[in-house]
Amino acid sequence: MILSTFAAALVLQSTPVTADQLSWMSGYWLSCDGGREVSETWSDARGGLMLGTALTLEGGKLTGFETSRISPQTPAGGNVSYFAGVNGAPPVAFAAREASGTRVVFENAGHDFPQRVIYERVGDVLNARIEGHMDDRDQSPIQSMSWSYRKADLNTRCPT
């Protein structure tokens, strides 16, 4: 019995994560904390692809942006990856490692920082977190940054 339960768990874990499973991320998300305006927008899943953008403003001035996509790493399919290009840099791929309901974890152990990108939705709140080792890889403590967005109408701005 234990062996069959273990085998069933392996089958579930080996099922590829698809963009369609992550449709709960789609929409316009806004954070107005700490004098910063951060918006993140995700398309719905179409043809195995989701497109995303993020903008950060401080004092009304652009301080950062990101273009992202969630898609299979190869045309043959398989698990999707999160590809993020920060401030115009070439995109870095983070492979989907786990997805359940309204949570997904992407990972790239070989990247400098972060090594993990985590999204989780709770009602009308989308939480995003990046984490990993900054220096000396496994020797340094894990560092993290997180954002909490509220669902908003497209192009809503923070109050001034």
Look at residue 73 and tell me whether its pLDDT is greater than 90.
Answer: no
Secondary structure class of 105 (helix, strand, coil): strand
Counting residues of the chain whose pLDDT is more than 90, the rounded percentage is: 78
> Where in the chain are the domains?
14-151
Residue 123 has pLDDT above 90, yes or no: yes
Instruction: With cut-offs at 50, 70 and 90, classify the pLDDT of residue 136.
Output: low
99: left (phi over 0), alpha (psi -120 to 50) or beta: beta
Q: Is the pLDDT of residue 1 over 50?
A: no
In terms of pLDDT, which residue wins out, 4 or 22? 22
- pLDDT band of residue 139 (cuts 50, 70, 90) is low
Which long-range CB contacts under 8 A does 133-137 form with residues at least 24 apart? none
Instruction: Tell me how far apart the alpha carbons of residues 14 and 24 are, in angstroms, rounded to a whole number.
Output: 21
Please give the model's pTM, rounded to 2 decimal places: 0.86
Tokens of 114: 């972060």
The rounded distance, in Å, linking the Cα atoms of 45 and 57 is 27
Answer whether residue 16 shows pLDDT above 70: yes
Q: Topology of domain 14-151, per CATH? A: Lipocalin (2.40.128)
pLDDT tens digits, residue range 92-119?
999 999 999 999 999 999 999 999 999 9
